[in-house]
Structure 1
Amino acid sequence: MDSQPRPDSWDTVSAGLVTASSYTKRVVLKSLVGRSDGGLALVGQRVVIGGWVKSSKEVKKEQPPPAAIVPASLPRAGGEAAGNRDVTCTEIIQSRITIFRKIINALSGATNVPVREKTDSAIQKPTLPSPSTLYFLINDGSCVASLQVVVDSSISWLPASQLLPFGTCIVAEGILREPSSPGKHVVELKTEKLLHIGTVDPDKYPLSKKQLPLHVLRDHSHFRPRTTTVASVTRVHSALNLGTHKFFQDHGFQYVQVPIITSTDAEGFSEMFQVTTLFKDAGKEESEAIIDTDVVKLDVLKAAVKVKSQKVEELKRSESNREALVAAIRDLNKTNELASQLESRQKSKAENFTKADKSKIPEDFFSRQAYLTVSGRLHLESYACALGNVYTFGPRFRADKVENVRHVAEMWNVESEMAFSDLEGAMNCAYDYFKFLCKYILENCSEDIKFISKRVDKNVSARLELMAFNSIAKLSYAEAVALLQKIVDKTFETKPELGMALTTEHLSYLADEVYKGPMVIYNYPKAQKPFYVRLNDDGNTVAAFDVVVPTVGILITGSQDEERFDKLFARIKELSLPKEQYEWYLDLRRHGTVKHAGFSLRFDLMVLYVVGLPDVRDSIPFPRRWGKQLVD
């Protein structure tokens, strides 16, 4: 096989009708196979492409048989006379050498002597690989479609076996042409040069041609974007991001970055992640002691409990050897008791460590307790009171220890705040934004939506069209409860009552069964909403709203915020919130107060709604959830 040294650099290729990127010196596949004609008009163009192998095959080339030595007196194949070529004496002797050996052996009386048919048969000649043609489907992540790339094995500096595996990265230069065999491909690339080959180890590479379940891919978050499904979801995610900025910029909003680290609980009742540097220094030895002794022992005991529980279950199923079952249960109970005692002791040590640590807060990085923010709306208000309409987009953190397909520890929110606005204005803006995003995806991600319709949710296109062009139902919290109480053909796990929080089951029934589309619920009891929401005239409800959509539930949460100093101060006092945390926030009411309203869209749930996936962890590039050890 002819070998070609690996190039040190890639040359920029002029593509005529297509333009190579000035940053990567290649043509993205979307500009080739993503065209309406599938790239047919580009036949004959020279391009450089790069991507990862989605599928491959090798077709061996037929080799002509070696020419045989034929005696001069015999006719050649096809009737050609051998006399057309002179035969040398050496060739005649070589053709008769086997006969001469047999005669010599017979005269000498030798028997069972192996005959060497060829004098050079003992010499091991290197076996050269048969020439072949390699066919690849290459995808570079720019679109759903892949490009067929044809490579002659002779131009590769690596054997075909290292090019063929799923996931191999290939950069190739060649000519676009119509496929030699008609099929589903409109064009293919006839490779003239291989510029780069990034090999994979098939035994260790976690992905394969076979479609893997999404829950399996979560354990390989650094590789899963290479799958077609996750790549499509990511492109939709990116489009929703761009659509978000377009909507707010087109409506006169200014983009503001709000802090991720804050000393303020934006809701007054959140589970927050604390930010500290104290654990690096103070109490390090005690912290390590807790980890090195009790935690290790507790892990061992918990593992033993699991094993002994399985043994008990096996004995119960066997319905025999009752004495062994009683002994196993006694052993399991004893192990559980030891684990409980050790867990209690560990918790006590940790609490004592925390109490001792609090005394050193002035030595901490910020000289006070600091947290990862759960919402940016409080900080956003300060800019709304100067610029009018503002928005932000960033990560929000909640330390709730829950297992939920709609919640992880880090989720991104789009938040807006509008000065001189009220509850009605915020509700209208929120729903216009939601409708805009649905329409934007239909117009800008049509190929990905088609693929998602086949692979994930066949109703995704119809659902987005319905959301983009229909109006929305609005009802108060009291009306929603009354409606649920009238339902006779459905028994809810939690009976709906005034004053109680509507459960996921309640909201799903209203959105999926009653309205069969999105709806807005507003004027909630004040106990269910954050302290800063404006108190209504009845003194019991607040000007808050939720946009509820089918399959997902609450997607947008918004409110008109309390602009009256006395009402806000009374609410902070009523909830026993630390007043010093909110002095800066109260200042906005002391000086130049104004009516204002806003909302937060849970961006990751919006992606989930658009693509129809069941679990939010599959719509987030690197999900962080409770109980899951970080590996990336």
Structure 2
Amino acid sequence: MLNSKYHTQAPTSKMSSEQNQTTTIPIENFKYSKRVVLKSILSRGDKGLGLVGQRVVVGGWVKSKREKKMKKDQGSKVGSFEVGDETRSNVGCCEAILARIRMLRSVGRLILGRDGEVERKEEDHRPCVVLLKINDGSCVDNLQVVIDSSMSLLSEVMSTGTSILVEGVLEQPLIQGKHKIELKAEKIIHVGVVDLKKYPLAKTRISLESLKAYSHLRPRTTTVASITRIRNTLTYATHTFFHNNGFIYVHMPVITTTDIGASSNMFQVTTLLNKTEDATNLNPTNDRENLSLEVIKSSIKEKSNNIEELKRSESNREVLLAALLDLQKANELALQIEGKQSESKINKTELNHVKDFFSRPAYLSVSAGLYLESYACALSSVYTFGPIFRAEKSQSMKQLAEMWMVEVELAFAELEDAMNCAEDFLKFIIYAVLNDCSDDMKFIAKRIDKDCIDRIQSIGSNAFARITYTEAVELLNKVTEKTFQQNIEWGINLSEEHESYLADEVYKQPVIIYDYPKEVKPFYVHVKEDGKTCSAFDIIAPRVGVLVRGSQKEENIDKISTRVGELGLPREQYDWYLDIRRHGTVKHSGFSVGFENVVMFVTGLDDIKDTIPFPRSYVSASI
């Protein structure tokens, strides 16, 4: 089952040089554009050699550029140019060495009877070619484009970050190296110029932390592009797994009127604040806080002016990045103070929800699980995949305010069925990454986490460890070589350090912990016969912690009604939910998967903000 959709294409047999030059395999243009996707050229088994001689149009963004002088006896023949003089065919050993060592060239010219000054002038007037490495985001590899200096628009494509659309013929490089194929440009169709003085990604290497200041530009970097392609494969594999196994995809609401578990970390949705009369005078904060905010705003203005000066000057780009991050922190602090002031005002303001948009309190959903149960009890096996929102005031590197969740519900299923489904699902989507993103994973292993490939390969080949909550507590209490910050005792939730120790140190693989105390899980979880434990499970993975949370739901209306009363939940909000038990009740189980956590697990990223295109977190939503 795990490899039903994903099969690695058998590598092409190694071709002789004659075959490489004469064999051509047709290439198709992208259906909705006149260009050829670079992946279809560079990700072939022969790295594009079978396409030599074909005319194509390609587009992309310039990653780097080099300028090379052509040999003076080559005329305008693009492709025959000097790279340390490696292209010369009849060169003596001594001359070749001299050509490679710049300091000895002048001596060499004297020995060989050359006039150095005359030759230097001749060299300055020789035509040149520009070597561009471009990427269109479809793969890790770049295509080398060779452009003659006589071509129009050449000066406009020389900056890193420039976008180009170019037509030419695919050829083998005269000098064999990293590139197996290159494009000899014959026509530049389009150029999107870049202001190099202001372009923040002109440097070759920029840290992921620095890139957070440029969420709209960071996908142009190879690292973020690879993460995005991996995320795309995980998304496609998610839908493929459930489609292959008979699940129905259901869209769930983002706005809810059910306060899930009386949670205090929900975003409230309202239009009343726009109508609050004289809101600035409802609850004025003390003068000291107002003064502090004014000082910070004045500092922000000063920092902004400084940044503009740095952009106009030839200042070190690292200095500019540091200044931008400093400005971002100042803005976040100002937002935090303004938020406290607004919260204070709102707390003192009576909101009449009868006049609100929905005529009652409404929130951004923290989970679609309750709604999904209603469809499971009609369609049997269902899932949804969408955003959820949590207003937790945390700057943890594992916490987002807006994230994506896969949620699954199975009718006529008990706890073990849900555990089996969750394990198979994780293995399937990880297998997809190994199959479809091998180049991206190699790049990630080089730049982010050298162990990422071995880690995810092992998850697909081994069954997850499974232990009860009670066994986990007993195991942790026996640990002597490590001191935990939080003592472990039966009845409390396992902390992150407890979970990490089990997954990273004890089992060194994902571990399923099940049968938790009923007090640490939601009201809707099925309580077992002992009256103390419930049918819930978590899947804990190395490096990231919790990947999956799941449970068997309570189908008995009397028991779940009792739990609602015990926890003091507003019964009127859950009456529709109890209807599922009143009318055609059935045993059902499900689970939810934090999608960004899966991306972290696969890539080895440390900060969850790097797993999502535009991260939203506490006091941070820049664009």
TM (norm. structure 2) is 0.79
Kept after mapping to 2: 8 A contact 1:266/1:377: no
CA pair 372-129 structure 1, distance change in 2 beyond 3 A: farther
Partner of residue 95, structure 2: none
Kept after mapping to 2: 8 A contact 1:283/1:353: no
Superposition deviation, residue 282 in structure 1: 2.2
Alignment of 1:175-214 (within 5 A): 175-214=169-208
Superposition deviation, residue 165 in structure 1: 1.3
Kept after mapping to 2: 8 A contact 1:290/1:349: no
Partner of residue 216, structure 1: 210
Superposition deviation, residue 270 in structure 1: 4.6
- Which stretch shows the higher mean deviation, 617-626 or 176-185? 176-185
SS in 1 for 2:66: strand
Partner of residue 68, structure 2: 59
**Partner Cα separation in structure 2 for residue 414 and residue 286 of structure 1:** 41
SS in 2 for 1:593: coil
Partner of residue 12, structure 2: none
Alignment of 1:505-520 (within 5 A): 505-520=497-512
**Match of 1:600, as an amino acid?**
S
- Which stretch shows the higher mean deviation, 276-285 or 514-523? 276-285
**Match of 1:22, as an amino acid?**
K
2:352 aligned with 1:356: no
Structure 1: which 5+ residue stretches go unaligned? 1-14, 65-127, 306-342
CA pair 287-143 structure 1, distance change in 2 beyond 3 A: farther
CA pair 275-129 structure 1, distance change in 2 beyond 3 A: farther
Match of 1:24 among 33, 55, 80: 33
Identity %: 50
**Partner Cα separation in structure 1 for residue 129 and residue 457 of structure 2:** 46
**Partner Cα separation in structure 1 for residue 294 and residue 345 of structure 2:** 24
Match of 1:170 among 164, 178, 188: 164
1:287-327, CA deviations, whole angstroms, 9 ceiling, x for partnerless residues? 7985998864232467999xxxxxxxxxxxxxxxxxxxxxx
SS in 2 for 1:356: coil
Kept after mapping to 1: 8 A contact 2:129/2:147: yes
CA pair 287-437 structure 1, distance change in 2 beyond 3 A: farther
Partner of residue 483, structure 1: 475
Structure 2: which 5+ residue stretches go unaligned? 1-23, 74-123, 300-336
2:550 aligned with 1:550: no
Alignment of 1:230-629 (within 5 A): 230-283=224-277, 285-286=279-280, 290=284, 296-300=290-294, 350-351=343-344, 353-358=346-351, 360-628=352-620
CA pair 462-63 structure 1, distance change in 2 beyond 3 A: closer
**Partner Cα separation in structure 1 for residue 129 and residue 340 of structure 2:** 66
CA pair 296-173 structure 1, distance change in 2 beyond 3 A: farther
**Match of 2:269, as an amino acid?**
V
CA pair 274-403 structure 1, distance change in 2 beyond 3 A: same
**Match of 2:349, as an amino acid?**
A
**Partner Cα separation in structure 1 for residue 438 and residue 278 of structure 2:** 55
Kept after mapping to 1: 8 A contact 2:283/2:345: no
**Partner Cα separation in structure 2 for residue 484 and residue 440 of structure 1:** 34
Match of 1:136 among 132, 152, 174: 132
CA pair 45-265 structure 1, distance change in 2 beyond 3 A: same
Match of 1:48 among 51, 54, 57: 57
2:622 aligned with 1:631: yes
**Partner Cα separation in structure 1 for residue 172 and residue 162 of structure 2:** 24
Larger Rg: 1
Superposition deviation, residue 444 in structure 1: 1.2
1:122-178, CA deviations, whole angstroms, 9 ceiling, x for partnerless residues? xxxxxx99853111001110000110001113222x352x32111110110000011
**Match of 1:31, as an amino acid?**
S
SS in 1 for 2:350: helix
Alignment of 1:53-92 (within 5 A): 53-60=62-69
TM (norm. structure 1) is 0.78
1:247-266, CA deviations, whole angstroms, 9 ceiling, x for partnerless residues? 11111000000000001123
CA pair 176-292 structure 1, distance change in 2 beyond 3 A: farther
Superposition deviation, residue 209 in structure 1: 3.6
2:156 aligned with 1:147: no
Kept after mapping to 1: 8 A contact 2:388/2:404: yes
Kept after mapping to 1: 8 A contact 2:279/2:345: no
**Partner Cα separation in structure 1 for residue 238 and residue 196 of structure 2:** 40
CA pair 144-402 structure 1, distance change in 2 beyond 3 A: same
1:92-137, CA deviations, whole angstroms, 9 ceiling, x for partnerless residues? xxxxxxxxxxxxxxxxxxxxxxxxxxxxxxxxxxxx9985311100
CA pair 129-582 structure 1, distance change in 2 beyond 3 A: farther
Kept after mapping to 1: 8 A contact 2:353/2:360: yes
**Partner Cα separation in structure 2 for residue 284 and residue 257 of structure 1:** 40
SS in 2 for 1:238: helix
**Partner Cα separation in structure 2 for residue 460 and residue 349 of structure 1:** 44
**Partner Cα separation in structure 2 for residue 264 and residue 287 of structure 1:** 32
CA pair 449-347 structure 1, distance change in 2 beyond 3 A: closer
CA pair 572-544 structure 1, distance change in 2 beyond 3 A: same
CA pair 136-461 structure 1, distance change in 2 beyond 3 A: same
**Partner Cα separation in structure 1 for residue 250 and residue 31 of structure 2:** 31
**Partner Cα separation in structure 1 for residue 44 and residue 576 of structure 2:** 55
SS in 1 for 2:609: helix
Kept after mapping to 1: 8 A contact 2:285/2:341: no
**Match of 1:409, as an amino acid?**
A
**Partner Cα separation in structure 2 for residue 347 and residue 404 of structure 1:** 20
Partner of residue 48, structure 2: 39
